[in-house]
Chain A
């Protein structure tokens, strides 16, 4: 036992060499959500997938520092804002692929073909169904209405999901109006913003507040654990722009050593075969329109997605952060 451990440790002291049939992935999507896919891919094709996980900001800096010598072929991360930033920093390269263009709707991929969404999460409204009727709800903007005073819960503005939501609102309404909306939300808060979506959903269920905004998979996970909670999903802005969606996605690294293999893996990830696995493992929606969502997820109902290209979330993210600071949204 100890001997094998020692041997493996010695091996890790030796640097990795470049071999043929492998793809090296840097991923900000955590291990338990990507490893099953890579294992399946290796079984299918014999191509080994080596990966390392870290926070997206750290991975981008690492890619930048490594430059041409990077071992990475593919970058996987959550939130379009991060994908956009990677493309802007010149870390990715455009990919011309009929397969990807067919599998990934245009608004969920980079107009410059440098990144592609692989799973969709909706950031939508949740409410306490013992205290709120779905008829009381209409839009994100309406959560700033005086009738919600002291009844709204939000996650912190420091999380990229909220930064992207506000960025997309700036794209739709302009900065001045968006700032008004965010200020009106802050005025309605029942309690300080929460560190994560799950805690916020629990607060709605416990009656600390009545409504809030969260990603669908957090709701799915929570209901799986505590089935009886009085929480329901509401799909806002159905007559206007649609529900705010975001993606987790991937791009090919500019200096990839196994470009062909990496593109093949990316195409496979967007294919019907992998899409269910990729999305279902985290209760997300497949990005590929030909693939049906997991039955549990599908049961939350169908809804109109906001079709504005997600690149906007990246372009306007810094502005969104500043706007939220000005509005006093912590």
Chain B
């Protein structure tokens, strides 16, 4: 394929993905004056501060946790390292709103912890309120750090050690070697993970709703469901999209002129062996995070599940599980292939048009799910209408809906939402492949797809697997698009969670949530197995 071919590919993918976004953005041309006036006066001032607090808190939290744990498991040696290196990914499988509910249930005034403390003290006790900015940030960080951890770990595995060696040969101490060399080299990966975490934070509704913490997203939902103005809600969502786009562009600009390349293929390296006190400190830290981010929530879910198991568990769970896995698996393949095409297009043809197309195509992840779902259903219904009209006029039959409520619709819808999740790890992986390598292989007569297969794919493996696992788990957790586009009587575990939580039966939602966590173990296990293989 020539440059133009790649450009066309990128444009086509982008257009497909962008249609729902454009439908959301189109609302801007018809401002709801009255609603905006109200929002500006009474709602937005408080929200902006809240949203900024949340984003900054989550950014700092996931970076600190993700990077430190990635460094420990990728470059150091301490008791339990092998176990922790994969176990620390497990929180990915627990939806953030579930973790949120568990912690509010445990730590609020009425929860067991404070109740016990009151009994113990024989009176009122002072306890930091869990339903606060701090509480929301804490839960979000616990739920989202794996994005940074996974990508930063890839970076450190492929060159953390070499970076340290280089630094030491230049006379840096180990500590300054980490900060001066290894960390800057891992930057695109860390930022990619961070971007995913922040996009998810901005689009989140479920978690903040559990805390009744007002953000941009809660205002979007209030405008839509409370004031019956989808128009106003879409306008707010558009502002969010524009903000995220600005964030991405700023990040790209800051990377300009930097080139990240790989210092050769991955070699077996000697880990930094932590000794004595430091070794146990590392184990203790990893264990603590695993405990609060995964073990405690899952234990609580299990104890709730046990109570309702007899009443709620039936043969249909096999079907729910299968549907969840099927959707996750198929979407993972679709999203990864699409993301690969995009990264490659950008690599082959790095003009500003292609770059812009690629960037816009990944914005779906920052749009609150329910708003995006509407943006998806509108063009679909229109397409169906055309098809039905054609069938009527050509064959004289009334077909009813053709596309809607079929998997053919669900998968592209997930693509719109999760392309960023597939693209970010892949793009960071691509950054690692040197131009020299490409030129060398070109001189050997490889080009286009052959080069992709022989040169790029083997080197992109880590990014590819990460992307697939992330999309797999994310799709299984997704709710609004699944609800809106699923076929009749075709439920998934996420749909079960919705059925239980929509009227506040949280404890009964524990059963499908546990099943979802178990299902999420599968892609994580696959990821670990394959990424360990190449080590």
Known: A32-B499, A192-B212, A325-B43. Is A58-B406 also a contact (CB below 8 A)?
no
Q: Any chain A CB within 8 A of the CB of B486? A: yes
Interface residues of B in 184-221 (CB under 8 A from A): 209-212, 214, 218, 221
Of B68-76, B280-288, B396-404, the stretch lying at the interface with chain A is: B396-404
Q: Any chain B CB within 8 A of the CB of A55? A: yes
Q: Verify B401–A66 contact, CB threshold 8 A.
A: yes
Q: Any chain B CB within 8 A of the CB of A73? A: no
Interface residues of B in 442-490 (CB under 8 A from A): 480, 483-484, 486-490
Q: Verify A69–B221 contact, CB threshold 8 A.
A: no
The winner among A13, A17, A158, A202 for most chain B CB atoms within 10 A is: A158
Q: Verify B504–A198 contact, CB threshold 8 A.
A: yes
User: Which of under 10, 10 to 19, 20 to 34, or 35 or more describes the interface residues of B?
Assistant: 35 or more
Q: How far apart are A113's CB and chain B's nearest CB, in angstroms?
A: 21
A192 to B211, CA, bound (A): 10
Q: How far apart are B341's CB and chain A's nearest CB, in angstroms?
A: 24
Of A180-188, A233-241, A316-324, the stretch lying at the interface with chain B is: A316-324
A12 to B401, CA, bound (A): 13
Q: Any chain B CB within 8 A of the CB of A130? A: no
Interchain Cβ contacts within 8 Å, total number: 171
Q: Verify B228–A15 contact, CB threshold 8 A.
A: no
Q: Verify B502–A55 contact, CB threshold 8 A.
A: yes
Q: Verify A69–B407 contact, CB threshold 8 A.
A: no
Interface membership of chain A positions 24-42, coded 1 if the CB is closer than 8 angstroms to chain B and 0 otherwise = 1000101111000000000
Q: Verify B401–A15 contact, CB threshold 8 A.
A: yes
Known: A195-B211, A206-B115. Is A18-B222 also a contact (CB below 8 A)?
no
A306 to B214, CA, bound (A): 32
A293 to B87, CA, bound (A): 51
Q: Verify B38–A325 contact, CB threshold 8 A.
A: yes
**Which chain A residue shows the least CB distance to B484?**
A58
Q: Verify B385–A67 contact, CB threshold 8 A.
A: yes
Q: Verify B407–A17 contact, CB threshold 8 A.
A: no
A50 to B489, CA, bound (A): 7
Q: Any chain B CB within 8 A of the CB of A97? A: no
Q: Any chain A CB within 8 A of the CB of B270? A: no
Q: Which residues of chain B come closer than 8 Å to A12, judged between CB atoms? A: 406-407, 487, 490
Interface residues of A in 118-173 (CB under 8 A from B): 156, 158, 160, 163
Q: Verify B225–A50 contact, CB threshold 8 A.
A: no
Binding site for A on B (CB under 8 A): 38, 42-43, 104, 108-110, 115, 129, 131, 209-212, 214, 218, 221-222, 224-230, 318-319, 322-323, 326, 370, 373-374, 377-378, 380-382, 384-385, 388, 398-408, 480, 483-484, 486-491, 495, 498-500, 502-506
Binding site for B on A (CB under 8 A): 1, 5, 8-9, 12-18, 24, 28, 30-33, 50-58, 61-62, 65-67, 69-71, 78, 85, 88, 156, 158, 160, 163, 191-199, 202-203, 205-206, 208, 218, 221, 257, 282, 317-318, 321-322, 325-326, 330
Task: Please name 25 pairs of A and B residues whose Cβ atoms are closer than 8 Å in the assembled complex, sorted by A.
Answer: A15-B402, A16-B400, A30-B500, A32-B500, A50-B488, A51-B489, A57-B224, A58-B480, A61-B230, A61-B377, A65-B378, A65-B381, A67-B385, A69-B401, A71-B401, A158-B218, A195-B211, A196-B506, A198-B504, A199-B104, A203-B108, A208-B109, A257-B400, A321-B227, A322-B227
